[in-house]
C-alpha cells in the first residue's frame, strides 16, 4: 500500500481538475464550433481561463515568470487547436496542415519548457505523452466532424484516462522536486 500526504493528494486532485477542465472546455468549444451553437463565444472565453488557472497553480512552485511562460504555451496550444478545427471546417487543407504542424511544435516546446523547470519531468516522456494527447484529440474531433459520435465519445474517454495519467506524472514530479511541501 502506498501512502501519500494530504498535501500531495490535494495537489494531485487540483492538477487533475485543471487538466480535466482543459479537455472538457476544449471539447465543448469544438462542439460549439462544429455545430454552430450559440454558446461558442462564452464557452471559448471559459476555455481560455484554464491557462490562467494553471499559471496560478504553478506560481507557488515555479515563480511568476515560469508560471506565466507555461500559461502562454498552454494558451497557444488552445488557440492552435481552435485554428486547426476552423481550417478543417473551412476545408482549408493548407491552413489545417500548418496549424497541426505548429500545434505539435507547441507540444514539443511545452515538453522542453516543463522539463527545464522540473528535472523530475522527463522531456521524452512529456513529448510522448503530449503527442499521444494531440493524436487522441485529433481523432475525437475527426469523429465528431464525421458525426460518428460513438467513436468520438470513446476517443474522449481515452483522452480522460490519458489526461489523468498526465496530471499524475506532473504531481509526481512536483512532489519529488519539492518534498518539503508534502511531508
Q: How far is CA 123 from CA 89, 145, 165, in A?
A: 33, 32, 16
What's residue 3's pLDDT?
75
Q: What is the pTM of this model?
A: 0.93
Q: Is 163 a residue whose pLDDT tops 90?
A: yes
Q: DSSP assignment, residue 121?
A: S
Name the more confident of 117 and 1: 117
Which residue's entry shows cell 480535466?
Answer: 20
Segment 25-32 shows an average pLDDT of: 96
Segment 28-55 shows an average pLDDT of: 96
**70 near 113, Cβ under 8 Å?**
yes
Q: Helices marked H in the chain — which ranges?
A: 6-34, 40-47, 50-89, 93-117, 123-145, 149-177
Task: Quote the cell numbers at residue 7.
Answer: 498535501
What's residue 2's pLDDT?
67
What's residue 155's pLDDT?
92
What's residue 183's pLDDT?
81
CB-count burial class (<10 Å; 0-12, 13-18, 19+) for 107: buried
Amino acid at each position: 500500500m502506498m501512502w501519500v500526504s494530504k498535501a500531495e493528494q490535494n495537489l494531485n486532485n487540483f492538477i487533475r481538475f485543471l487538466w480535466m477542465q482543459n479537455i472538457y472546455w476544449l471539447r465543448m468549444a469544438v462542439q460549439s464550433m462544429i455545430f454552430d451553437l450559440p454558446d461558442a463565444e462564452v464557452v471559448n472565453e471559459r476555455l481560455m481561463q484554464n491557462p490562467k488557472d494553471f499559471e496560478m497553480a504553478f506560481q507557488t512552485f515555479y515563480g511568476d515568470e515560469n508560471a506565466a511562460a507555461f500559461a502562454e504555451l498552454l494558451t497557444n496550444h488552445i488557440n492552435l487547436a481552435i485554428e486547426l478545427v476552423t481550417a478543417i471546417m473551412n476545408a482549408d487543407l493548407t491552413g489545417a496542415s500548418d496549424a497541426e504542424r505548429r500545434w505539435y511544435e507547441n507540444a514539443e516546446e511545452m515538453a522542453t519548457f516543463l522539463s527545464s523547470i522540473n528535472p523530475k519531468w522527463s522531456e521524452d516522456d512529456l513529448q510522448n505523452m503530449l503527442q499521444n494527447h494531440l493524436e487522441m484529440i485529433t481523432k475525437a474531433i475527426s469523429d465528431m466532424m464525421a458525426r460518428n459520435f460513438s467513436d468520438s465519445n470513446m476517443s474522449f474517454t481515452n483522452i480522460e484516462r490519458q489526461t489523468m495519467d498526465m496530471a499524475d506524472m506532473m504531481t509526481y514530479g512536483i512532489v519529488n522536486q519539492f518534498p518539503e511541501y508534502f511531508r
